[in-house]
Structures are given as C-alpha cells and as structure tokens.
Chain A
C-alpha cells in the first residue's frame, strides 16, 4: 500500500510539472523565436541566425508605433475613468440599499458573461444609430465597459473589509464625509485599486474581440495592429512585439509585488 502511495505521489509531481511546463511553454517559445532572424517560423532555431533584427523592425514599423501610441493614450484615459466609476460604484453598492440593487449589480457585472464580439458588434449598432462615429471615444467607452466589472469586483472585495469604526472615529474628530472618504476609506482600498489598475491595463491592452469592431483606418490599438500584421505574414516580428508587451506585463507584476504583494493580490489568506 505504501509503495502505491509513493508511486502516486511521484505521478502527481510529474503531472504538476507537466502542467506548469504546458502553461509556460508559449512564453519561452515566443522569447526564443523573437531572436530568430529568419523570415519564417520554424523550429529548431538556427544558432547562427540569432539577432535583435526583429526588435529593430518592430520599433521602427510605423503601424506598430502608431498602434502603440494609440494604446498608451487609450490606457491613460480608460484607467482613470474605469477606476473612478468603479470605486464610486462599489462604494455605492456596498454602503447603500435600494430597489433594483440586484438587477443593477448584475447589469454592471454583465460584461464578464457577454462575449467580446457581442459587446463590440452591439456598440457598433449603438454608435452608428446615434451618430457617434469618432473612433477614439468609442474605444474608450468600449474599454471602460469591458473592464468595469473587474474594477468593481476588486474594489467591492476590498471595501467590504474596511473597518467602519475607523471612519466613525475620523468623523467624530471633525472630518466631514468627503474628507473621511478621501483620507480613511480610499487608502484602505489601495489594494483593490491597484488590482483594478492592473486588470484594466492587462485586459484593455490585450483586447482584440471588442476593439476590432470599433477601430478605423487612423485609430487602432496596438493589439489590432499586431493582428492585422499577423493576417498577412507570420514572421517573428510578432514574437518580438509580444515579448515587448510581456516585458510591460512583467513590470506590472513586479509593481504588484512591490506595492501590495502578489499573495494579497490573489486573495490569498496566509
């Protein structure tokens, strides 16, 4: 019996290693391929053909640069908007009772369940019928819609844990409600807000399904620029661009670790 248990234990360890390898393999492959200076995707990579060629290409390619700039500006507008609406919304939901609360809550969380293409196509109809055809504001609205549920979940989870007695103490000492919110409640929600920022950035920067419907010839996020390139040629430029995005992601993860720690981010109760 003990031998069987030992064998099972080894099997489980093998299984776990296999899964971790499966999860991390794409990242490694993309990194390796990005240094392969040949024009086509093939394995194994030639050692002699390793270079930074594709990185130089990506950084100099006008479509990518334009898309990246648009994405960054899009994030700079979407993140504050989503955070403000999300914080205010979660505060409203946690601290008040009103009729139709369940329904409104479900409505605000619905983008989690609605496929991205459905949101995108519906917004196209909405914007066309109301005459709002400017691409950038449409993108902002779409990205706020799809990221708001994540912000609200993170903020609500945080807000529920805030100690009301500290707020009451602050008000006893003379602070009005707004000051209390600003200096007591908001700092306690820091973890949720940081999580919200990370989520908004990760989801919005990577989004293809919804953005594909709302771009025009001049306004396109970086992800759409990449996808457009991928449809024409599948060379390692995409790998290089992906590595660059991943570096940004790594920077974000490190930022999480430095500010609130990865474990709290996951909701880990140590």
Chain B
C-alpha cells in the first residue's frame, strides 16, 4: 500500500473537529466507565462468595462456574446477547408476558454496555478474590466480638481493606472495555460504534489508512493515559492505606 509520508495533523483536526467522531470517542469512554463500574459491582459479591466460602466443595463449584463464565469465547457471548436482547429475543419474550411493549435494546449503547459488563465482571471477580482473601478473617471476628453486626463489619473492615484490589479491578476492567472490538461490532449493529470498530472500518471499508492510524493513536492515548492515572491514584490510595494501618 502506498503511504504518503508527509507529516500532517489534518487527520487529528478532522477527528476532533467533527461532532460525530467526538461523540463516538465520548460514547466509548462513557460505555467503558459504566461497564467497569458495574463490572466491579457484580464482581465483588462473586469474589466475596468465593473468598469467604466455608466449604471446600462449594468453593470449587463457584470457582468453576466463574472460570466458565470467564473463558467463554467472546463470539459466544455476543451471539447469546443477540438472542437475549433481540426484538424476538428472550428479554422481549418476558416483557411481552408481562404485557409491556417490546424493548428495542439491540444496536444501542445499552446492548454494548451489557455485553461489556459480561466480560468485565468475571475479570473483576478473578482480580478481587486475592485481595478479599488477604483481609484476614480474624479482623472480621475481632470487629464482631466488639459488637459490630455483619453490615458494619463489612463496611468498616472488609470493604476499606479491599480498596487497593478494587482499584486494580477498575484499572483492568477499564482497559479491557475500552479495547472491546467484537462486542460493539455486533451488539451495536453499525449504528452505535466504539472507537475500535471504527478503526477497523477505516481499514476494511474505506482504506483510509492515515485516518485509521490517527484513530488508533487517539484510542491508545486515552487507554494508556487513563490506565496510568488510575495507577497513580492506586499508589496514592495504597500509601494512605498503609499509613493508616
């Protein structure tokens, strides 16, 4: 392929100057953030149930279930959510049973976000099992012996001590969500896009390689810089955390 090697910022100007492109970048960041937050909201209880599981067999079963949901291929995930969220899908089947009008979720931001959550939640859970385990049960028992009930023990002892793990899970989940390719490609149906499948479209459909390269650079910049910022925040959290205990 012939690539003109003249240095120019025209591609970046075009990207940031066009509202449609800016919106896709913002949508990417927005969907990734929502998916990461829900990923931790879903992943933490799962990790907790495994880390604090009392029976060996129970823990093995839960871990196997978690691993299965993690190792399922992204193609299977996308297909399944197509079946769930489609106009004649499972969700609308249940909605119709309740007498409500059918929902159009597929091809919207919510469809993509749900798909992203489904990948980021097991990842967060796997990341959080170690940190939750590191909170020694003896600390929880001490709190209970001093009169705290379950909720107070959790919010005042377990949760604060697991915050470094939560930050790690956020960092990992965000990185993975921002890079998502297959999920937005199919669950967005070409109507809603994320940066990654826009890059692919530039290469495959319009062969506008310089613009595609600019898109890649922008995506890389946002992915790396936000991961870096979360890392810095994590270091500061850890410093304050260790100083307190």
A residues at B contact (CB < 8 Å):
1, 5, 8-9, 12, 15-16, 19-20, 22-27, 29-30, 33, 41-44, 112-118, 121-122, 124-125, 128-129, 202, 205-206, 208-209, 212-213, 223, 226-227, 230, 234, 238-239, 241-243, 245-246, 249-250, 252-253, 257, 262-263, 266-269
Contact = CB atoms under 8 A, between A and B. Distances in A.
A209 B42 contact: no
B220 A208 contact: no
A25 B182 contact: no
Contacts of B196: 115-117, 209
Given A24-B65, A249-B71, A121 B212 contact: yes
Interface stretch (B6-14, B17-25, B158-166, B173-181): B173-181
Using C-beta atoms within 8 Å of the partner chain, give the interface range for chain B: 35 or more
B224 A114 contact: yes
A33 B129 CA distance: 33
B25 to A, nearest CB: 13
9 contacts: A15-B45, A33-B80, A43-B93, A115-B195, A115-B223, A118-B179, A118-B216, A223-B75, A249-B71
Contacts of B49: 16
A29 B196 CA distance: 27
A16 B79 contact: no
Interface of B: 1, 3, 42, 45-46, 49, 59-60, 62-69, 71-84, 86, 88-90, 93, 118, 121-122, 126, 129-130, 133, 149-151, 175, 178-179, 181-182, 186, 195-197, 199-200, 203-204, 209, 212-213, 216, 219-220, 223-224, 227
Given A41-B83, A242-B72, 20 more contacts: A22-B118, A24-B69, A27-B80, A41-B89, A113-B175, A115-B179, A115-B181, A116-B181, A117-B197, A121-B199, A124-B203, A125-B209, A208-B75, A209-B182, A212-B181, A223-B73, A242-B75, A243-B76, A262-B67, A269-B130
Given A27-B76, A230-B186, A113 B46 contact: no
